[in-house]
Amino acid sequence: VQVTTKDIARVCGISRGTVDRALNGKPRIDPDTKALILKTAREMGYRPDLLARSLVKGRTMSLGVVVYDIRNRYFAQLVSAIEMEAKRRGYFLNITLQENDPEMESRLIGNLVDRRVDGLILCPVNKGEAFRAFLKSLPAPSVVIGNYIAPDIPFVGIDERAAAIDAVELIVSKGYERIIFVCPPLANASKENIYSHEQRLAGFYEAIGRHSVSSRDVVGSDDYLDRLPSALRESGAKTAFFCSGDIYALNAIRRLRAEGLEVPRDAGVMGFDNIDTLEFLLPSMATVDTPVCELGVLAVRTLLDLVEGKEAELRSLLDYSIIDGASL
Amino acid sequence: VQVTTKDIARVCGISRGTVDRALNGKPRIDPDTKALILKTAREMGYRPDLLARSLVKGRTMSLGVVVYDIRNRYFAQLVSAIEMEAKRRGYFLNITLQENDPEMESRLIGNLVDRRVDGLILCPVNKGEAFRAFLKSLPAPSVVIGNYIAPDIPFVGIDERAAAIDAVELIVSKGYERIIFVCPPLANASKENIYSHEQRLAGFYEAIGRHSVSSRDVVGSDDYLDRLPSALRESGAKTAFFCSGDIYALNAIRRLRAEGLEVPRDAGVMGFDNIDTLEFLLPSMATVDTPVCELGVLAVRTLLDLVEGKEAELRSLLDYSIIDGASL
DNA sequence: TTGAAAGCGCTAACAG
DNA sequence: CTGTTAGCGCTTTCAA
């Protein structure tokens, strides 16, 4: 039932090549025949088969996006920004979720490449040399957001380490004597790419070293919520929890409250990311604002530069900002 | 640089047809030649070109998804569920955002169809006979979530009207004498598909009619936040705001608070959708729980039935539930 | 069990 | 300005 250029050619009593010229605004065609072709194309309800076009052009005008899970506010905002910028540039998105499964991620990337996406935007759970080599072996370029892979894989992010340092400085300036870094992803450091969290941890250590803060505790396990109340009670020092992600901070506040502990009265809490859930939170939360929309837009631009064969930045760092809040 | 079946055939000194039989597990092939072909395919790093396969098979194994905006919690959860179910069934997703623009939505759907998606899942902003005819004219089947189009366009949702009635019953049972329905989308009723909100409004009217509640006010404009405090002050009756969406409810609570009005002390508030932002909200909010994941899964199943030529339900309603909360 | 040929719908190159 | 031819990589007949 599909109307093809062949049909148009037959109806107009003309060749397929000419139909192509008319339909795609190419030069060297008589205005009258062009008008005729366009008219009959419209009348016949012609629609181009983009699949066939892609096969011959070697470009699909679509980008593959692989992220952890879109229910996560951070990724939802990121993907939205990516989609809008891609659409603006005429590209469509193939979005797929790796659900924190390294093998699934590799499989999904392979499938996207087999579908001939022109480029990939990843927030990878994989890491290391093998993954780097895998990405390098692909016919389509990749850009990575947040989770660094290797110097030769284009990266877009913020200086997580510096941000963590600034965050600790804010906490210290509020008179806290003890800061506990809460970072559940550390439990999966061996299997997963948690570059950004590792950077935050490094920043935490560095900042703590600069001050005579009494402890440099780190809670890096999945049962972190069970550990917070006791950690709080074991010392009389004025304590703050610096959480490597707003979700952990929100969960922490809820848990402390369930134990009869109020924020910031009994403990300070600071998050990271500034996800938009915080907008409706009272008391407001101190956090680090990540320019997530800008990251998405920049990732698309970098990727399209590569797709179009231009030079592209291998490493772009955007500005973060420290947000004070009533939770400290 | 791409390795094709032709290359494998040449290297093995065999025909392309046989390579195809080996690669795709088809019968009538000698086990030895099959083994040889698979081995050399692996060695040469062969990867199938899914574009070419789709062109000849007439199927792309991908579904088009068009929603308003994925930053909205509701759609993020929905799209996540859709992606996982689609992936489980071997399909990929082409996701795109219509940004509440009817024309853009139509254009995007057209583009997805030109890319030969096997089916479409829509939360449409368009409505009416013209849009119905447009969808019917497409070579790919559609399933619609939430915003009903016409009896012959498969629909997945909940009974919004009944849910609104039950919600009002809950509010009335708490002793509220005056209920104001807050529904900003009504301002766009002429241009956009706001079926679900209209259904909620109808339910509101019906439930109000059953009780001798003193007023049946509706705030249906984009400046709804400016109207709430005065609406509250103009009557001494115990008042509740029934908001046609949790976001409106959250914004309402924030605004009232800014005016020195506390919930539920000065006014009750009820939302709709049970978006997961509510999880961290205190006091907790009364709302209507929409089974958003199940909606997504069911939409995929319905669509794939159609794609595979089976009969499919034209109208599926899932169970909602009323959630009580401290905001009433 | 294998090979040869045709075709999916489109674009590109060259000849007229 | 227009037509012809070849080909993108794959699958599918039909014949051997």
The residue of chain B nearest to residue A109, with distances taken between CA atoms, is: B92
Average pLDDT over residues A29-33: 96
Average pLDDT over residues B150-155: 98
Across the interface, whether the CB atoms of B114 and A84 are under 8 A apart is answered no
d(CA B275, CA B72): 9
Across the interface, whether the CB atoms of B93 and A92 are under 8 A apart is answered no
Across the interface, whether the CB atoms of A116 and B50 are under 8 A apart is answered yes
Distances (CA, A) of A171 to A203, A220, A241, B68, B258: 13, 20, 9, 39, 28
Rounded CA–C1' distance between A44 and D2, in angstroms? 23
pLDDT of A214 over the 70 cut: no
Give B264 to chain A, closest Cα distance, Å. Answer: 16
Q: What is the average pLDDT score of chain B?
A: 96
Q: Say whether A28 sits in a helix, a strand or coil.
A: coil
Rounded CA–C1' distance between A36 and C16, in angstroms? 23
pLDDT of A232 over the 80 cut: yes
Confidence of residue B283 (pLDDT cuts 50, 70, 90): confident
Q: Say whether B62 sits in a helix, a strand or coil.
A: strand
DSSP string, B312-326: --SEEEE--EEE--T
Average pLDDT over residues A282-311: 96
Interface test with A, best of B3, B44, B51, B300 (most A CBs within 10 A): B51
Residue A282: predicted pLDDT: 83
d(CA B189, CA A137): 52
Rounded CA–C1' distance between B10 and C7, in angstroms? 21
pLDDT of B166 over the 90 cut: yes
| Neighbour-count burial of B194, counting CB atoms closer than 10 A to its CB (0-12 exposed, 13-18 middle, 19+ buried) | buried
Across the interface, whether the CB atoms of A93 and B94 are under 8 A apart is answered yes
Q: What are phi and psi of B209, to 5 degrees?
A: -60, -30
d(CA B49, CA A125): 26
Across the interface, whether the CB atoms of A116 and B49 are under 8 A apart is answered yes
Q: Say whether A310 sits in a helix, a strand or coil.
A: coil
Q: What is the pLDDT of residues B196-212, one digit of tens each?
A: 999 999 999 999 999 87
Nucleotide nearest to B29 (CA to C1'): C1
Nearest to B95 among A50, A93, A250 (CB): A93
Report the share of chain A in percent with pLDDT over 90: 94
Average pLDDT over residues A210-214: 79
Across the interface, whether the CB atoms of B97 and A84 are under 8 A apart is answered yes
Q: What is the pLDDT of residues B19-36, one digit of tens each?
A: 999 999 999 999 999 999
Q: Name the β-bridge partners of A180.
A: A217, A241
Residue A1: predicted pLDDT: 84
CA-wise closest residue to B55 among A2, A324, A51, A91: A51
d(CA B269, CA B284): 10
d(CA B308, CA A219): 51
pLDDT of A213 over the 80 cut: no
Residue A110: predicted pLDDT: 98
Nearest to A95 among B60, B83, B257 (CB): B83
The residue of chain A nearest to residue B83, with distances taken between CA atoms, is: A96
The overall longest dimension of chain A from CA atoms, in Å, is 91
CB atoms within 10 A of CB B44: 13
- Per DSSP, helices labelled H in chain A are 5-12, 16-23, 31-44, 50-57, 73-88, 102-114, 128-137, 160-173, 195-210, 224-233, 246-258, 292-307
Nearest to B93 among A47, A55, A94 (CB): A94
pTM value surpassing 0.85: yes
Lowest-pLDDT choice from A85-89, A229-233, B58-62, B144-148:
A229-233
Average pLDDT over residues A234-244: 94
Distances (CA, A) of A259 to A180, A183, A243, A250: 18, 21, 19, 15
> Which A residues 36-55 have CB within 7 Å of strand C?
46, 48-49, 52-53, 55
- At position A295, the amino acid (one-letter code) is L
d(CA A206, CA A165): 7
Rounded CA–C1' distance between B29 and C15, in angstroms? 45
Interface test with B, best of A82, A106, A113, A115 (most B CBs within 10 A): A115
Rounded CA–C1' distance between A23 and D5, in angstroms? 20
Is the dihedral angle over the CA atoms A201, A206, A207, A212 positive or is it negative? Answer: positive
CA within 13 Å, CB half, A59: 10
Exposure string over A6-44, b if 16+ CB within 10 A, otherwise e: ebbbebbebeeebbebbbeeeeebeeeebebbbebbeee
Rounded CA–C1' distance between B184 and D12, in angstroms? 56
Give A108 to chain B, closest Cα distance, Å. Answer: 9
For chain B, how are helix, strand and coil distributed in percent, rounded to 5?
Answer: 50, 15, 35
Residue B196: predicted pLDDT: 98
Q: Say whether A134 sits in a helix, a strand or coil.
A: helix
Within B27-86, strands assigned E span 62-67
B59 touches strand C (CB under 7 A): no
Nucleotide nearest to B49 (CA to C1'): D9
Across the interface, whether the CB atoms of A2 and B97 are under 8 A apart is answered no
Q: What is the pLDDT of residues B131-145, one digit of tens each?
A: 999 999 999 999 999
Across the interface, whether the CB atoms of B281 and A276 are under 8 A apart is answered no
Residue A129: predicted pLDDT: 98
Interface test with A, best of B57, B80, B256 (most A CBs within 10 A): B80
Across the interface, whether the CB atoms of A47 and B113 are under 8 A apart is answered yes
A35 touches strand D (CB under 7 A): no
B190 touches strand D (CB under 7 A): no
Is the dihedral angle over the CA atoms A284, A285, A291, A296 positive or is it negative? Answer: negative
State the first-to-last Cα distance of chain B, in angstroms, to the nearest integer: 66
pLDDT of B38 over the 90 cut: yes
Rounded CA–C1' distance between A11 and C14, in angstroms? 25
Average pLDDT over residues B76-97: 98
Task: Name the CA dihedral angle for B264, B269, B270, B273, rounded to a multiple of 10 degrees.
Answer: -110
Average pLDDT over residues B2-12: 97
- Per DSSP, helices labelled H in A262-310 are 292-307
Confidence of residue B214 (pLDDT cuts 50, 70, 90): low
